[in-house]
Amino acid sequence: MNQYKFTLLSGVVFRKDISGVCYTELGSNSLPLGKNQAVNLLADEVIGLKEIIEENKRQQEVTVHQFRQAQEEIQRLQSDNGRYKEALKFYAEETTYTKEFEDCPPAIDMDWGDIAKKALVGDTK
């Protein structure tokens, strides 16, 4: 027969010796268990571990959902950032404020902030 020893969720050590006798140990105290006691103890342990696994799965699902939401928000912010950069480029360019032709006003005079307004509301061309 195999022998093994492991700590239960309660902190008590469960041990089965080579002859098949089961014990619980806490510190230096060792208590032999009958088969029914050992089965009940291990069944309770399995149930406790199953509950922990189910809770971990639930938390993992919540984490995955939050991660996906964060990815979507990052994509939205990157899109916003791109629009803002394009609008800023228009307002930062020197040619925006100079006349291209003598009888034509500079681009800024015809804009009236439309490029900035479109960038702010997400209305791209």
For the chain, the domains span: 34-121
Compute the average pLDDT of residues 5-26: 94
Tokens of 42: 């291990």
Q: Kindly tell me if the per-residue pLDDT of 116 is higher than 60.
A: yes
| pLDDT value at 3 more than 70 | yes
50 pLDDT exceeds 90? Answer: yes
- How confident is residue 8, by pLDDT bands cut at 50, 70 and 90? very high
> So what's the pLDDT on residue 123?
57
